[in-house]
Chain A
Amino acid sequence: MPTLSIAELKKQANLIRQDIILMLERAGSGHPSGALGMADIFAVLYFQILNHTPHKPNSPLRDRLILSCGHYCPVLYATLARAGYFPLVELKTLRQINSRLQGHPHNLSLPGVENSSGPLGQGISQAVGMALAGKIDQAKHQIFCITSDAEHNEGQLWEAIMTANKYQLNNLINIVDCNNIQIDGKTTDIMPLLSLRKKYESFGWKVLEMNGHNYGNIIATIKQAKNYQKGPVVILAHTIPGKGVSFMENKYDWHGKAPNKEQAEKALQELRQAV
């Protein structure tokens, strides 16, 4: 992929956000908060960082992006379409019968989707498995995993995190979307995570943090993670859930609710004005 300038990356992220709104409005259900919040990071990953070839989605040399929190899939689908994995028009079919764009990702349905997810906590173990395979093969590619903050409520994550340290998986980078919300409320109220930094550090990981909407910061932090040689790296990405749509920002009730026609129009207006 050609690397884009920051201005071009911002433009892509804005288009991805517009796609997300259009897709969800049309589907009538789905999850806007996390998807909108991660659009900047996805734009940077797919248009700047990942070594990938959209027309050769199964190339063994490719970097892998494992979406562990499957309900974020609108941002993955929109980014994949923008990167050229499949036609943009197909985004309209999200969540409809016979669509390749399943309500939660299915690796066998759509090119570019590396794993099936939806049930939280499963992706990171699969990312560890892929990283272990990369080590066995002495391969050069890297494994990027995207997890959500409340996903860390699941014990399975900590089992995977422990394993990644044991095998010193320096080909694994886990980006955690720290947006402080989950379904029933704020993470601090539903299940306090306390310090994810201290937790990961005590599990033997290198911990980095970034502002998930500051492009210079995102690019520099991910590059630093890529260059770290000693073991697995976690990036705590501080984001605003619903970012870019004022009435959705920081509101947990938008975790899993699609905008209606009117709300979608308002959201699109805001997004169009932002470019």
Chain B
Amino acid sequence: MPKENKNKSTRDGFGDALLALAKKDKNIVVVSADLAESTRVWKFAKKYPARFIEVGVAEQNMLGIAAGLALADKIPIATSFAVFSPGRNWDQLRISVCYSKANVKIIGSHTGLGAGEDGASHQALEDIAITRCLPNLVVLAPADYNEAQKALAVAIKHQGPIYLRLTRQNTPIFTSAKSIFKIGQANILQKGQDVTLIACGALVYDALQVAKKLATQNISVEVINCHTIKPLDKKTILASVKKTKKVVTLEDHQIHGGLGSAVAELLAENYPVPVKIMGVNDTFGESGTPEKLYKKYGLDQEHIIKNIKEII
């Protein structure tokens, strides 16, 4: 089988799960801002036209409408690129959705450098920072296609607002379709002794690959898939760090305000140890393929290995 067939994006996982879930739950409605195909709600729109609301290029209005739908007992799925939602409509997210505890699922696609050729304007590198600071909001960043499917199912069961961070690019499917996905429960994907490597999103796969490579060099890496950035799984992270006493975090996001910051906040208050936060280092991205961008901006496997060796 050609490699691409095994690779799928988390936005695909979301879109496929949506179709299945919508069949069972008639309260699910989709709100779109002229990106139905890119956000993978096109099939839903065709199948359930009466439950599909297209507001045009108007993300602030979209989220307000979603809040209204939620306050009228629908389960709105508000979809766009993350730079626009929650990027452009953050105030609406804060008040109409979070303050009111409106049951809106905010789907932000094309996050991180992985968004690729569209360039800096379309690469959401700040979305975790601006969502994890909001009360009442759950923030999820699934690692692959399978996990994105589970994340949506759990999000729909959950009563309250959720931000689901998705990616454009196809990446390997490596989590099991059967493993349990619980909000606020990080998964230890590989046990280790020397360092805790905490990652989220598409880079979790690279974290695992690195752990495998380093095992051959007698470096034992514990890999945690932290798919829920908020609420953070303090228990799992603290237990791991008490064992390894060293931490590297990894995300396709700014180093300021993301997963790394969340982990650093936890450790500073509870168990201070050396931490290396890997992410985009306070700069905008640019156009390019995800692979080339990860290399240039220090997020490829080579850089992860280098950082782990430096910290242990």
- Cβ contact within 8 Å between A120 and B121: no
From A119, A121, A191, contact of B55 by CB (8 A): A191
Residues of B within 8 A of A150 (CB): 34, 56-57
Name B275-312 residues within 8 Å CB distance of A.
286-289, 292-293, 296
Chain B's closest residue to A104 (CB) is: B121
Query: A34-42, A95-103, A132-140, A160-168: which lies at the B interface?
Result: A95-103
The reply to whether A106 and B34 contact each other, CB–CB distance below 8 Å, is no
- Does A29 make an interface contact (CB < 8 A)? yes
CB distance from B98 to the nearest CB of A (A): 21
B112-120, B155-163, B231-239: which lies at the interface: B112-120
Which of B34, B61, B118 is within 8 Å of A103, CB to CB? B118
A84 touches B (CB below 8 Å): no
Give the secondary structure class of A's interface: loop
Q: Is the CB of B119 within 8 A of A191?
A: no
Residues of chain A lying within 8 A (CB to CB) of residue B56: 150, 153, 182, 190-191
Known: A97-B296, A103-B287. A182 touches B57 (CB 8 A): yes
A118 in contact with B57 (CB, 8 Å): no
Interface pair B34/A102, CB less than 8 Å apart = no
B 57-85 contacts with A by CB, 8 A: 57-58, 60-61, 83-84
Given contacts A182-B56, A184-B54, contact A104 B119 (CB under 8 A): yes
Who on chain A is nearest to B293 by CB? A97
Taking a contact as CB atoms closer than 8 A, the residue among A94, A117, A191 that contacts B58 in the complex is: A191
Residue picked from B34, B55, B88, B293, most chain A C-beta under 10 Å? B34
- CB < 8 Å: which of B32, B88, B122, B287 contacts A97? B287
Instruction: Please name the residue on chain B nearest to A93 by beta carbon.
Output: B287
Nearest to B289 among chain A residues (CB) is A97
* Cα A218 to Cα B118 with chains together (Å): 31
B-side contacts of A8, CB under 8 Å: none
Task: Check if A118 sits within 8 Å of B119, measured CB to CB.
Answer: yes
Complex CA distance for A184 and B31, rounded to whole angstroms: 13
List the B side residues contacting A28 at CB < 8 Å.
117
**Residue tally, chain B, CB below 8 Å to A:** 30
Alpha-carbon gap, A116 to B88, bound state (A) = 16
| Residue contact A104 to B118, C-beta cutoff 8 Å | yes
Cβ of A27 under 8 Å from chain B: yes
Q: Which residue of A lies closest to B84 (CB)?
A: A119
A29 touching B117 in the complex, CB below 8 Å, given contacts A99-B287, A153-B56, A153-B57: yes
Which residues of chain A are near B36, meaning CB under 8 Å?
183-184
A209 within 8 A of B: no
Please give the number of chain A residues whose Cβ is less than 8 angstroms from any Cβ of chain B in the complex: 32
Q: Which of B244-278 contact A (CB under 8 A)?
A: none
| Shortest Cβ distance from B32 into A: residue | A184
Report A115-158 residues with CB < 8 Å from chain B CB: 116-121, 150-151, 153-155
Inter-subunit contact B288/A120 (CB<8 Å): no
- Say whether A32 faces chain B, with CB atoms less than 8 Å apart: no
Q: Does B22 contact A (CB under 8 A)?
A: no
Chain B residues with Cβ under 8 A from A121's Cβ?
57
Residues on B with beta carbons closer than 8 Å to the beta carbon of A153: 34, 55-58
Quick check: A103 and B119 within 8 Å, CB to CB? Answer: yes
**A97-B296, A155-B60 are known contacts. Are A119 and B120 too (CB-CB below 8 A)?**
no
Q: Is B35 an interface residue (CB 8 A)?
A: yes
Q: B121 contacts which chain A residues (CB < 8 A)? A: 70, 102-104, 106, 116-119
CA distance A101 to B292 in the complex (A): 16
Q: How far is the CB of A147 from chain B (nearest CB, A)?
A: 11
The answer to whether A119 touches B83 (Cβ under 8 A) is yes
CB distance from A6 to the nearest CB of B (A): 35
Q: Looking at the complex, which one of A29, A70, A101, A191 makes contact with B57 (CB distance below 8 Å)?
A: A191
| Inter-chain contacts of B286 with A (CB < 8 A) | 97-99, 102
Contact B293–A102 (Cβ < 8 Å): no
A28–B287 Cα gap in the complex (Å)? 12
Which of B87, B118, B293, B296 has its CB near the most chain A CB atoms (within 10 A)?
A: B118
Cβ contacts A183-212/B at 8 Å (1 or 0 each) = 110000011000000000000000000000
Contacts of B122 in A (CB 8 A): 103-104, 118
28 chain-A/chain-B pairs, Cβ below 8 angstroms: A70-B121, A95-B119, A97-B286, A97-B288, A97-B289, A97-B292, A98-B288, A99-B287, A101-B287, A102-B286, A103-B118, A103-B121, A104-B118, A104-B120, A104-B121, A106-B120, A153-B56, A155-B58, A182-B34, A182-B56, A182-B57, A183-B35, A184-B37, A190-B34, A190-B54, A191-B34, A191-B54, A191-B58
Give 17 new A-B contacts, CB below 8 A, not counting A97-B289, A103-B287, A153-B58: A28-B117, A95-B119, A95-B287, A103-B118, A104-B122, A117-B121, A118-B118, A119-B121, A121-B57, A153-B55, A155-B58, A182-B56, A182-B57, A183-B35, A183-B36, A183-B37, A191-B58
Taking Cβ atoms with an 8 Å cutoff, the residues of B that contact A are: 32, 34-38, 54-58, 60-61, 83-84, 87-88, 117-122, 286-289, 292-293, 296
